[in-house]
Structure 1
């Protein structure tokens, strides 16, 4: 896929695909809902100039298997720990986009010793209040349709489980963010689907956090403004 071959890591009931590329300090990339590691195709060539990139397909996404325990951020955080342990990585920078950002938050809260610096691109904590209604309401509608179709279609059942990650709270509250003591950068687009108030609340709760707002950007700034995005990430990680 996108020029790289995945390695499959045994995580108990499922094999999780990861792409281990480059050398140096590890940088983990976590894609969004319904996507896979190819979302980072404009980032990986640049990031591997400085870092060992570990791009992970979340459970039920891309080349990773579904397993038998359903989909949840808690389970995907366990998967990520298993992947890092299998690769001999005990500390890494973590960059997550959208649901991958939510996973990064869950992972950093559960396994803080594994996280060096944290970058959250278009992440949220509150599923309904954190997302603008004209984006979130269609997600609820699609989830309802997929839930009905799941009784007769395995494909619909898989998509229902993936969409389900966007309609339920994932066990994190805004107050929990005070435990994210690692240096943190939040990146959002000026026209992001995440509410401005949600981003401000998150930044206010995380002790060492700054926010970068991309002018004229939407939710997909990494894909649509890759040069600025890559530069912003690298400068943050290098401490500039």
Structure 2
């Protein structure tokens, strides 16, 4: 993929763009650069102008001097859209990126034409806090980067993906990526995601919203996504049978077709 570093309200952010049509902004989650959305940049750009970017501390966008917050990253996403002269976009975020997308919609509603939240939540429960606490020290204490990814991906991908070689391929790609995330950057992103709360503010979202959950997701199980959907007026909630935390990577054709149908309904197209 090719991209460029842009000035987004004084912050240098790496952006990938593909295609022509209605604007779509893709917001990645913990540790992931824009390349996490490769199957969407490839698969949706025949019908949309698709933009993905590196959040602060991931890929080519550096960490700020001050502590990261979800609100800061949401403002970055807004600055990206404005720097690219996008008046409003269909916004899709997964995991930590879905939290950024929630905040983007709450803080800059005029920029969000519709909202897709994949593997999302609005208030951490005790299991989630303990899981993310383990991730925090795991990245320091794993014997090497491969071992860290092998452990981390146990929460992220299906048993199917671990058995059929998908996870091994993703780990090889992550290890070969020329802009790896440091342990400090991983922990700096994890901290605001692990304490994120929007449940009481979600009724303020007015954009058409689709909430998707993987049936087998260990990190953000379906009941957390259902809670989000029930708090957003008119939101649609769907569970993807047999899928885990990142079906947009494991079953991209299924994911792409579902979000395309949602966006076509919003755009009034057949």
| TM-score scaled by length of structure 2 | 0.78
Correspondence for 1:209 among 230, 235, 256: 235
Give secondary structure in 2 for the equivalent of 1:42: helix
* Matching of residue 53 in structure 1 with residue 78 in structure 2: no
The Cα of 1:146 is off from its aligned counterpart by 6.3
Larger relative helix fraction: 2
| TM-score scaled by length of structure 1 | 0.87
The list of structure 1 runs, each at least 4 consecutive aligned residues, that deviate by more than 3 angstroms after superposition, is: 11-14, 144-148
* Matching of residue 64 in structure 1 with residue 64 in structure 2: no
* Matching of residue 157 in structure 1 with residue 170 in structure 2: no
Structure-1 residue corresponding to 2:132: 139
Cα distance 1:125–1:16, how it changes in 2: closer, same or farther (>3 A)? same
The 5 A counterparts of 1:182-221 are 182-192=207-217, 193-221=219-247
Structure-2 residue corresponding to 1:107: 104
Structure-1 residue corresponding to 2:260: 234
Name the Cα RMSD after superposition.
2.1
Structure 1, unmatched stretches of 5+, are 149-153
Structure 2, unmatched stretches of 5+, are 142-180
Output the CA distance in 1 between the equivalents of 2:245 and 2:234: 23
Greater relative contact order (Cα < 8 A, sep 6+): 2
Q: Any conservation in 1 of the 2:13–2:54 contact (CA below 8 Å)?
A: yes
Q: How many residues align?
A: 226
